[in-house]
Amino acid sequence: MSSRFDGKVALVSGGGVGIGFATAKQLIAEGATVFVTSRTVEQLRAAEAALGPKLIGVRADAGSKEDIEALIEQITSTTGKLDILFANAAAASYQTLGEITEEALDRQLGVNIKGLIFLVQAALPLMVDGGSIIMTSSLAAQQGVPAASVYAATKAAMRSFARTWALELADRKIRVNVVTSGPIASEGFKSGEMDDSFKAFIDDAVRRSPARRIGEPFEMANTVTFLASDAASFINGADIPVDGGLGQI
């Protein structure tokens, strides 16, 4: 395994399982020290046991400004810098129009937009010049997905954030990119509160996809780690699909 991330420090939000865990695993295998957040302490302890001392688990709610600030304080006191920020934590609630609750709306906006903004803002003083920020979006932001209108809208916002922040951070040479996920067989995807119409949409998506399958977390991690590396030094403000071709047909 290469050591392209030797001496690098990364933060992966929502990294206890699935895409976040797979990305943390790859970053650590290539030399990085990785802070991982989750709301679930058991997930963090399991991740630490699996990946060893270079993974530092921090319990944090991605929608809580106070938790985010405490997280950044811990990183400051431990490593004093960040090279890579992978904003992967998300909240999803599948409700059709007419059934959307205030609680579900607030949670998704709070984590996927408010929490994302506060995380990036809080991390910026620690980010090294030339660092990389990567955000997980979803194919739902580009295609109509039954019962996912709020979630899709929050993910679509990331595309705008990447364009604007890439310009705002240009003087510091901090790159900002989005990775758009198709259906991925992560724990979060499997445990989503999906109604029958959404399940039918996924089944149809697999049938239509050139890949004819759901993706695996490591396939997202491959793209994220590429974008975090110097090999992607001229990729900025972009939206990279990891969707088996589903969004391209």
Q: From start to end of 60-110, where are the E strands? A: 82-87
94 catalytic? Reply is no
Q: How far apart are the C-alpha atoms of 90 and 81, rounded to whole Å?
A: 24
Give me the DSSP letters along 20-73: HHHHHHHHHHTT-EEEEEES-HHHHHHHHHHH-TTEEEEE--TT-HHHHHHHHH
From the candidates 94, 151, 161, 165, which is the catalytic residue? 151
Pick the closest to residue 52 from 68, 67, 36 (CA basis).
36
Question: If we measure between CA atoms, which residue out of 39, 244, 10, 31 comes closest to residue 134?
Answer: 10
Task: Take residue 194 and report the two structure tokens written for it.
Answer: 């999906």
Q: At which residue do the structure tokens 């119409």 appear?
A: 197
* Rounded Cα distance, 181 and 236, in Å: 18
Termini Cα distance of the chain: 35
3-state DSSP call for residue 17? coil
Residues 10/84, Cβ–Cβ less than 8 Å: yes
Structure tokens at 27: 């970053």
Tokens of 68: 């985010």
Select from 201, 219, 244, 235 the least CA-distant residue to 22: 219
| Residue 115 and residue 68 in contact, taking contact as beta carbons nearer than 8 Å | yes
Residues involved in catalysis: 151
